[in-house]
C-alpha cells in the first residue's frame, strides 16, 4: 500500500487497486497520448469506442463468456436491474421465483411484484438471514419465468458457495453485485447476471449486465426505450451517453484482475484473506461472526462484539488507527469488513492484528 492511504473496508464504493488509481490519474489528464483526458472524450469517438470494446473483451476473457451472451454497461445501479429484469422478461400473468436471502434479494423480489406474480421459493427470514436455505427448504413454483438469486448477501455476510439447483430450462437471474468476478463463474448456467460496479469492478455509476441472446428481445416494445435490454444490446451500450470514465475504469480493473492470474487466482486470494479473519473470529472471546459457517461470505465478513458500547469503541478506535468502513450496515448494526478483490492482504492482516490487540486491551467484561 502506498504512503498516505488507509485500510479501506467500505462495502461499496470500495477500495480500488492502487495501480489502477495511478493510471486513472494520468488518464484523466491525457489518455493514451490523445491530448485529452478520458472524461473529455466523445462517446462517439474512436478512442472511446476502443475503451468500450476493450472493457467488454476483458470481461469476456476473464469469465469465458460464451458467444450467445451480450455484455452491457448500463446505469441506474443494481437497483434499476431489480425492475428492468421483470419489465423485460416477466409478463403480468407469469410467476417469477425469488430466493430471498437478504435485504437486497427482498428488494428485488418486491420490485418484481409490480410487474408480475412472485413466488418466494425460499426465505432466510427465520434465521435473520444468517444462513442460506438448504436444498430441502427451496420450493420452486410449477413453471417460473425465471429464478432470481443473490449470489452474495452484502448486508448479512452470506454467500452461495455454489449456485443452488434450479428447475431445468428456467433462466437463472443473478444479482452478483457484491461478488462479481471474485471467483470463477459458469456464465452458461445463467440467463442474466448483473452487478453494480462499485464493489469488485470499478466505480459507482456503471452496472455490468451479461444477458443471454434469447432474453434480450423479450421486452414489450411499448416499454420505455431506455428500459429495454434490446436497445442497449443493439447499440453496444452506446444508445445514449454512457458513463465513459466508469467504463474505462472497469476495463482497467478487469485488466488488473487478468494480470494477477484471473478469476481462479482471485478466488484463491479471496479465500485466503477471508480465512485469516474467520479463523481469528472463531477463537476470539469477544468477537463472533454472525453468519452461519456453512454460508459465510468471502467478501463481507459480519461480526459482533459483546455489547453495542464495545462495538462503538472498537469502530472509533479502528478509525483512529487508520481502518475505515468497519461499521455494519445501519439496519443490522455490529461490524462488517468488506474485503473485495482490491482489498490488499496487507489490510486484512493489519485488521486481524488490530482486533487481537483490541481484544487484549478490552476483555469481554469491560
Ligand atoms: N444488490 C446487492 C447485493 C448490493 O449489495 C447492492 C448495494 N450495496 C445492491 C444490489 C444495490 O446496488 P445499487 O446501489 O448499485 O443500486
pLDDT in tens, 128-142: 999 999 999 999 999
Instruction: Check pocket membership of 12 for ligand 1, CB cut-off 6 A.
Output: yes
Q: What digits encode the pLDDT tens for the residues 193-214?
A: 999 999 999 999 999 999 999 9
Catalytic residue among 175, 179, 248, 255: 175
Give mean pLDDT, residues 221-233: 98
- The whole-number pLDDT of residue 215 equals 98
Give mean pLDDT, residues 99-114: 98
Give mean pLDDT, residues 349-362: 97
Beta strands across the sheet bearing 147-150: 69-74, 207-212, 192-196, 172-175, 147-150, 95-100, 117-123
DSSP state of 67: T
Instruction: Check pocket membership of 203 for ligand 1, CB cut-off 6 A.
Output: no
Task: Show the cell assigned to 244.
Answer: 465513459
Instruction: Check pocket membership of 79 for ligand 1, CB cut-off 6 A.
Output: yes
Residue 349's alpha-carbon distances to 71, 119, 158, 191, 354, in angstroms, are: 36, 43, 21, 38, 9
List the residue whose alpha carbon is closest to atom 14 of ligand 1. 77
Residue 82 CA, closest ligand 1 atom number = 10
Per-residue confidence band for 319, with pLDDT thresholds at 50, 70 and 90: very high
Give mean pLDDT, residues 278-297: 98
Instruction: Check pocket membership of 101 for ligand 1, CB cut-off 6 A.
Output: no
Angle in degrees, CA 317, 348, 292, rounded to 5: 95
CA 62 to chain centre: 16
Catalytic residue among 97, 104, 160, 256: 104
**CA 39, CA 248: separation in Å to the nearest integer?**
10
Residue 245's alpha-carbon distances to 19, 40, 242, 323, in angstroms, are: 16, 9, 9, 28
Where are the extended beta strands (E) located within the chain? 7-8, 69-74, 95-100, 117-123, 147-150, 152-153, 158-159, 172-175, 192-196, 207-212, 288-289, 300-304, 323-324, 335-338
Q: Quick one: what percent of the chain has pLDDT higher than 90? A: 98
Catalytic residue among 131, 199, 255, 327: 199
List the residue whose alpha carbon is closest to atom 5 of ligand 1. 154
**CA 47, CA 251: separation in Å to the nearest integer?**
13
Instruction: Check pocket membership of 244 for ligand 1, CB cut-off 6 A.
Output: no
Would you call 293 exposed, middle or buried from its count of C-beta atoms within 10 A (0-12, 13-18, 19+)? Answer: exposed
Q: Whose CA is closest to 242, among 273, 278, 206?
A: 206
Q: Quick one: what percent of the chain has pLDDT higher than 70? A: 99
- The whole-number pLDDT of residue 366 equals 53
* Residue 364 scores a pLDDT above 80: no
Give mean pLDDT, residues 289-314: 97
Pick 363 or 219 by higher pLDDT: 219
List the residue whose alpha carbon is closest to atom 4 of ligand 1. 177
Asked if 244 contacts 38 with a C-beta cutoff of 8 angstroms, the reply is: yes
Per-residue confidence band for 363, with pLDDT thresholds at 50, 70 and 90: confident
Task: Show the cell assigned to 356.
Answer: 487481537
Residues in the chain: 366
- The whole-number pLDDT of residue 365 equals 56
Q: What digits encode the pLDDT tens for the residues 240-284?
A: 999 999 999 999 999 999 999 999 999 999 999 999 999 999 999
Amino acid at each position: 500500500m502506498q504512503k498516505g492511504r488507509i485500510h479501506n473496508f467500505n462495502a461499496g464504493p470500495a477500495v480500488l487497486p492502487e495501480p489502477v488509481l495511478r493510471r486513472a490519474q494520468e488518464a484523466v489528464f491525457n489518455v493514451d497520448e490523445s491530448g485529452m483526458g478520458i472524461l473529455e472524450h466523445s462517446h462517439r469517438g474512436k478512442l472511446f469506442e476502443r475503451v468500450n470494446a476493450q472493457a467488454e473483451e476483458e470481461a469476456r476473457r476473464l469469465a469465458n463468456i460464451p458467444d450467445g451472451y451480450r455484455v452491457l454497461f448500463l446505469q441506474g445501479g443494481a437497483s434499476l436491474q431489480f425492475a428492468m429484469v421483470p419489465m423485460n422478461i416477466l409478463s403480468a400473468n407469469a410467476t417469477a421465483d425469488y430466493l430471498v436471502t437478504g435485504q437486497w434479494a427482498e428488494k428485488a423480489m418486491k420490485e418484481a411484484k409490480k410487474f408480475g406474480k412472485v413466488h418466494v421459493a425460499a426465505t432466510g427470514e427465520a434465521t435473520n438471514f444468517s444462513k442460506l436455505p438448504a436444498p430441502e427448504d427451496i420450493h420452486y413454483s410449477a413453471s417460473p419465468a425465471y429464478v432470481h438469486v443473490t449470489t452474495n448477501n452484502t448486508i448479512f455476510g452470506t454467500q452461495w458457495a455454489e449456485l443452488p439447483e434450479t428447475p431445468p430450462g428456467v433462466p437463472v437471474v443473478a444479482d452478483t453485485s457484491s461478488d462479481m468476478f471474485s471467483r470463477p463463474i459458469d456464465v452458461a448456467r445463467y440467463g442474466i447476471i448483473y452487478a453494480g460496479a462499485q464493489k469488485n469492478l470499478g466505480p459507482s455509476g456503471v452496472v455490468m449486465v451479461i444477458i443471454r441472446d434469447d432474453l434480450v428481445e423479450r421486452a414489450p416494445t411499448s416499454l420505455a426505450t431506455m428500459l429495454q435490454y434490446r436497445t442497449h444490446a443493439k447499440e453496444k451500450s452506446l444508445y445514449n451517453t454512457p458513463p465513459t470514465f466508469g467504463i474505462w475504469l472497469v476495463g482497467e480493473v478487469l485488466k488488473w484482475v487478468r494480470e494477477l492470474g484471473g478469476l481462479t487466482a482471485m478466488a484463491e486470494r479471496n479465500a485466503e484473506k477471508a480465512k485469516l479473519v474467520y479463523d481469528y473470529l472463531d477463537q476470539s472471546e469477544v468477537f463472533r461472526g454472525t453468519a452461519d459457517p456453512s454460508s459465510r461470505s468471502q467478501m463481507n465478513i459480519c461480526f459482533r462484539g459483546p455489547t453495542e458500547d464495545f462495538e462503538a469503541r472498537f469502530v472509533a478506535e479502528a478509525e483512529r488507527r487508520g481502518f475505515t468502513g468497519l461499521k455494519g450496515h445501519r439496519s443490522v448494526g455490529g461490524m462488517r469488513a468488506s474485503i473485495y478483490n482490491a482489498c490488499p492482504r496487507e489490510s486484512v492482516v493489519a485488521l486481524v492484528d488490530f482486533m487481537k490487540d483490541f481484544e487484549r486491551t478490552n476483555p469481554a467484561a469491560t
